[in-house]
Amino acid sequence: MLMDGHSLAYRAFFALPAENFTTASGQPTNAIYGFASMLANTLRDESPTHFAVAFDVSRKTWRSEEFTEYKANRSKTPDEFKGQVELIGELLDAMHTPRFAVDGFEADDIIATLATQAEAAGFEVLIVTGDRDSFQLVTENVTVLYPTKGVSELTRFTPEKVEEKYGLTPSQYPDFAALRGDPSDNLPGIPGVGEKTAAKWINQFGSFAELVERAEEVKGKAGQNFRDHIEAVKLNRRLTEMVRDVELPKTVADLERTAYDRTAIAMILDTLEIRNPSLRERLFAVDPGAAEAEEAPAEPGVELDGTVLATGEVAPWLAEHGTAALGLASVDTWSLGTGSVTEVALAAADGEAAWFDPTTLDETDEKAFAAWLADAAKPKVLHNAKSVMRVFAEHGWSIDGITMDTALAAYLVKPGRRSFALDALSLEYLGRELAPAGAADGQLAFGAEEDEQAEADALMVQARAILDLGEAFGEKLKEVGAADLLTDIELPTSVLLARLERYGIAADRAHLEAMEQMFAGAVQQAVKEAHASVGHEFNLGSPKQLQEVFFGELDLPKTKKTKTGYTTDADALAWLATQTDHELPVIMLRHREQAKLRVTVEGLIKTIAADGRIHTTFNQTVAATGRLSSTDPNLQNIPVRTDEGRAIRRGFVVGEGFETLMTADYSQIELRVMAHLSEDEGLIEAFTSGEDLHTTVGAQVFGVERDQVDAEMRRKIKAMSYGLAYGLSAFGLSQQLNIEAGEARALMDTYFERFGGVRDYLRRVVDEARATGYTETVLGRRRYLPDLNSDNRQRREMAERMALNAPIQGTAADIVKIAMLNVDKALTEAGLSSRMLLQVHDEIVLEIAPGEAAVAEELVRREMAGAVALRAPLDVSVGLGHDWESAAH
């Protein structure tokens, strides 16, 4: 099987939307994903013994030298596609698949050469390509698989299929193509001569050469046009013919498929954040070495002496093995009040492992297990410890002595990756594939009862992998200087977050339901107004119908062109609202905003648990900067600066037995961090003056007195200051402020003239990151940015923005975590019943017990302000109220 890599990657690129396949660093992966998926399916369906992929080198080939206009009409390769072919090549290398690219030739020529050699050697040949010129290669032994729908459906072109489609033999196809011309390659056709006429002539005269010889016999205007363009058609014929003798570094015999480097494939997919387990499984399923991998002997030092423990056997096993570090894995479900652990596995470094069903524990076992879990002197290694602690608490078990969380460790070692699944980490760092619980792992050896205890075996293998990963990450953390971050910040934070998730925050269901009804009514009202504005009904959720109304009926100014027409996204609607007096763009913006708010409130109502509280899940490993996020529900998704958002926040209330909610957050923490890191004396002075920061900075930038800084000046300075902390470019600032790029650049230049320390810092941080490969926060949290040296401008500029942003955002994230830990510790040491509930952005929300407000506020202010010493001191705002919004400040 021979594959045209460029042709199929390009088809995959347009078949899948880039916005749905992009890494955190901005690298599009849609072509890679589509190509890999098609590759896996085709290898599965065709099972070739020999396989290779051919690529174009550039548009400069022998054809472009002979005809300078060859493919000159093709548009510039999209930036989103650039770089993906190179990454596809890396994936093929990991699959040990030969790939060819030869200067001066196209992939077609390479394929033609290999197909000719393979057929001569007695092979049956399959060619997978989106180029119809390959039909000339079709014989009884050579079949073309041509994509007819994206890259998901392939049509088999045999000699019979070619004749059925074109009425010609495959050998006649290049004659036909020469006459037809090819707009995609910029090969001119003959005026008035289409595919039917071209096919008729070839059949009538037998070949192109005979047709040219007898050109005077061709009748009518079409014949005259042929004679007028005969030299161009002769050139077409030369260019259409594929070269069958390209000099290649390998022969057909060298193309035999061999076992994959599975670890390398897993690393590539993880790096590209391609998390779909189905794709990985399909790729591995067609690995020629799959059978050998399944039968491979156990690796030295990882055989397990696994035991299924019955009632009464857990306590003795722990007494014998529980003093050394143990890896712990479990199967559980969590829903507040109904969470349960159904399986537990423990593994020791000496090869001993145990599995038990917690429901079978007798009183002695239960006490022994609970005591072992709670003993800080008994080291434990877990994967995603927070979720384990949260569900174990449903059984009354508390966990102490966690020395390693392999998910958090992997995050600190490589924060840019999106997947921290145990099986992926095991494959990458240990070279071991893990079976899910419920299926035996063929790589590790157990006793004679393996078939009967497959489920237990799989979980014990996971526990052992967790233990071994813990050891591996212990070394990795030292290498990247993150060992203290794990021990002092991330692990304690996970313990605190597990508790916060169990606490939840009380919700006012009636208030939220009333809000949902209000937003639903506003959505319906917007629909009525939209229909009235154009005089008929249409579907406001249909981009196609919106395009027809906006750009057809109303003839409004055209927005950005996309594959499906002119865009009607939020930015386009906002632009249209400024370009026309018609009310529809404004109505549509209101409709979408109200619909979004309704969905938000509906989601909140659905997450109210039986205890009347909302229990969000905090994520420690999602944001590469170190910031926390939340899901189910996403509390960071609730608007803060709109009346509707503030009204939604009133639905979060103080719970029974408590007196009030308290909110505490940092004022302008990112800008204070930027002042600290840049050591800019002017910016530090602006913070320490006690006056309004943006007004003070505005006066210095615009060269006016403070009382002359108007609201518009202050708005521009605020956007500028925060924009710099987020790596905003002059273009981005111009878009945000709706001003010309030149004005934005001038504003930035003036700002940097006044605050040269900031300018110098921003330059320095990118240069240092380019030299070292990473940025670093004040506390040593690294963000690796290999794309800083990329040849791809888009990827390089994205990495530069991250280099500007990561130290500031990461330091702010570290400060908030330290503050949380210090506040929680101080509450405990003071003997208060008040407790922390939420952390959202830079804000902490607490539930205050009766009579504790004053002491809690003093404690919170002290601990948050003193979390880290900065040159621009931390400033804390505190508020109290019955609900989240009322407690704002």
Residue 783 CA to residue 627 CA, distance in Å, equals 13
Q: How far is CA 747 from CA 217, 726, 728, 733, 860, in A?
A: 74, 17, 13, 10, 38
How far apart, in whole angstroms, are the C-alpha atoms of residue 31 and residue 84? Answer: 7
Structure tokens at 98: 């030969």
Using alpha carbons, list the distances in angstroms from residue 383 to 108, 143, 405, 485.
Answer: 49, 49, 5, 17
Q: Coil, strand, or helix at residue 644?
A: helix
Reading the block at residue 297, the tokens are 């002997």
Query: 107 with 73: CB under 8 angstroms?
Result: no
Q: For residues 64 and 167, is the Cβ–Cβ distance under 8 A? A: no
∠ at Cα 150 (128, 542), nearest 5°?
Answer: 180
Tell me if the domain spanning 670-810 has CATH number 3.30.429.10: no
Strand, helix or coil for residue 781? coil
* Residues in contact with 194: Cβ distance below 8 Å, sequence separation at least 6, in sequence order: 180
Q: What is the dihedral of CA 270, 271, 276, 278, to 10 degrees?
A: -60
* Phi/psi at 381 (5° precision): -115, 125
Query: Does residue 633 have a cis bond before it (omega within 30 degrees)?
Result: yes
Largest CA distance in the chain: 107
Give the CATH H-level superfamily of domain 296-502.
Ribonuclease H-like superfamily/Ribonuclease H (3.30.420.10)
Other residues' Cβ atoms within 10 Å of the Cβ of residue 849: 17
Query: Which residues are within 8 A (CB) of 820 and not within 5 positions of it... i.e. 6 or more apart?
Result: 493, 496, 836, 839, 844
pLDDT confidence of residue 195: 72
> Residues with Cβ < 8 Å from 553, sequence gap 6 or more?
534
Report whether CATH 3.40.50.1010 matches the domain 2-255: yes
State whether the Cα torsion 550-555-558-563 is positive or negative.
Answer: positive
Three-state secondary structure readout of 458-521: HHHHHHHHHHHHHHHHHHHHHHCCCHHHHHHHHHHHHHHHHHHHHHCEEECHHHHHHHHHHHHH
Q: Which helix (H) or strand (E) holds 655?
A: none
Contact of 525 with 596, CB cutoff 8 Å? no
**Do 309 and 356 form a contact (C-beta atoms < 8 A)?**
yes
Nearest to 445 by CA among 290, 313, 295, 325: 295
Residue showing tokens 């006016």: 704
What separation in angstroms does the CA of 154 have from each of 30, 49, 53, 531, 600?
19, 20, 17, 44, 42
What is residue 182's DSSP assignment? B
Cα(759)–Cα(804) distance, integer angstroms:
11
pLDDT at residue 439 in the model: 38
Beta strand 125-128 pairing with 2-4 = parallel
Looking at the chain, which residues constitute the CATH 3.30.420.10 domain(s)?
296-502
Look up residue 778 and give its amino acid. V
Amino acid at 696: T
| CATH architecture label of 506-614 | Up-down Bundle (1.20)
Question: pLDDT means per 10 residues in the chain (889 residues)?
Answer: 91 82 78 92 93 85 68 62 85 94 89 95 94 89 85 84 85 76 65 71 73 72 71 74 89 93 85 78 87 49 81 95 94 73 93 92 95 97 95 92 96 83 86 61 39 77 95 93 95 96 96 96 95 94 90 89 78 88 93 92 93 94 89 86 90 96 94 94 89 88 90 89 81 84 89 90 92 91 85 78 90 96 98 96 95 97 96 94 92
Burial class (CB in 10 A: 0-12, 13-18, 19+), 125: buried
Contact partners, residue 197, CB within 8 Å, separation at least 6: 179, 222
Q: Name the 3-class secondary structure at 703.
A: coil
- Where along the chain do the CATH 1.20.1060.10 domains lie? 506-614
